[in-house]
Amino acid sequence: MHSIKVLDKEFEPYLSEKEIQEKINELAVQLNKDYAGKKPIFLSILNGSFLFTADLFKQITIEAEVCFIKLASYKGMTSSGNVITAIGLEANVTGRHIIIMEDIIDTGKTLHHYLPQLASSGPASVKIAVLLNKKEARQFSVNVDYTCFEIPNKFVVGYGLDYDGLGRNSKDIYQLK
């Protein structure tokens, strides 16, 4: 792995495809156990979580559904003021077990704003699975149930994560130099 350039910024290798896939497989094993017989709905938050969701969902062997919503609060490298629901929830989540799939939790704002909305639909349970957890950056409290990697407060791209729309199509994850 070598450094890459996305727009005006240099990024260096941080997590390899192999490390990422191993953690996702471990998470799938755990979820297959924890949700056996519960027919959970994996609720993926677009855009960043699409690869994480796809790779994890392929390893889910129990009965399960997947659906997608689009929330956005980011522009460039900083979180913008508000959280917009660009694509809403189609699935009926009332009485269902929900596993929210997030690529990364940074300030926590996106989920902090969205969780009460989801709760108002009356799900049986809501848990959060996240690929990358930037704990040091937290400004809004969010209880994360499943974490693949705890990472420092540095901007990352790749494996679904972007810098101004670019860099998502990389199998590895890179960190800002």
Residues that bind Mg ion (CB under 5 A): 48, 103
Q: Which of 53, 110, 133, 170 binds ligand IMP (CB under 6 A)?
A: 110
Which of 103, 106, 164, 172 does the annotation list as catalytic? 106
Closest CA to 126 of 140, 113, 144: 144
Q: How far is the CB of 138 from ligand IMP (least distance, A)?
A: 8
Residue 28 or 105 with smaller CB distance to Mg ion: 105
Other Cβ atoms within 10 Å of 2 Cβ, number:
6
Is residue 53 part of the contact set for ligand IMP (CB under 6 A)? Answer: no
Q: How far is the CB of 103 from ligand IMP (least distance, A)?
A: 5
Closest CA to 100 of 60, 58, 59, 67: 67
C-alpha to C-alpha distance for 134 and 153, rounded to whole angstroms: 6
Other Cβ atoms within 10 Å of 108 Cβ, number:
20
Q: Which of 156, 158, 173, 174 binds ligand IMP (CB under 6 A)?
A: 156
Query: Which amino acid is residue 8, in one-letter code?
Result: D
Catalytic (active site) residue 106? yes
Residue ranges in contact with ligand IMP by CB under 6 A: 48, 73-74, 79, 102-110, 155-157, 161-162
